[in-house]
């Protein structure tokens, strides 16, 4: 079986793999990266500087996030020290996030 070229996405994603891989969402991200030939940046744990510098260094485009991570991005002064312009998509789930936090 050979996958036709038309089924291979032309947009290369660089995905941040910070959500746990033992969770369904983490497993889905890992499988998506493998099947779609995306890059997956995996961090062993959350550390603000490591997280932000990895987004900058590897030019992460897709960030799956949980609400505390979105709050960190909205309110942490560390964020201004890094270039996060590569992020084109932030997906947040698992719990509600306030509109004011999303606006920030």
Q: How confident is the model at residue 100 (pLDDT cuts 50, 70, 90)?
A: confident
Alpha-carbon gap, residue 26 to 82, rounded angstroms: 25
Q: How confident is the model at residue 11 (pLDDT cuts 50, 70, 90)?
A: low
- Walk me through the domains of the chain, giving residue ranges and CATH numbers: 14-101 (3.40.50.980)
Among the residue ranges 7-16, 40-49, 76-85, the one predicted with the least confidence is 7-16
- Report pLDDT for 51: 94
Q: pLDDT tens digits for 18-74?
A: 877 777 777 887 887 778 888 889 888 889 999 999 999 999 998 988 888 888 999
The phi and psi torsions of 53 (rounded to 5 degrees) equal -70, -30
């Amino acid at each position: 079986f050979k996958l036709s070229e038309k089924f291979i996405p032309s947009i290369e994603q660089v995905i941040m793999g910070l959500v746990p891989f033992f969770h369904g969402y983490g497993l889905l991200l890992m499988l998506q990266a493998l099947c779609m030939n995306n890059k997956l940046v995996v961090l062993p744990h959350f550390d603000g500087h490591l997280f932000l510098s990895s987004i900058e260094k590897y030019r992460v485009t897709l960030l799956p996030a949980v609400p505390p991570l979105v709050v960190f991005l909205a309110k942490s002064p560390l964020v201004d020290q890094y270039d996060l312009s590569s992020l084109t998509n932030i997906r947040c789930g698992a719990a509600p996030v306030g509109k004011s936090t999303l606006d920030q």
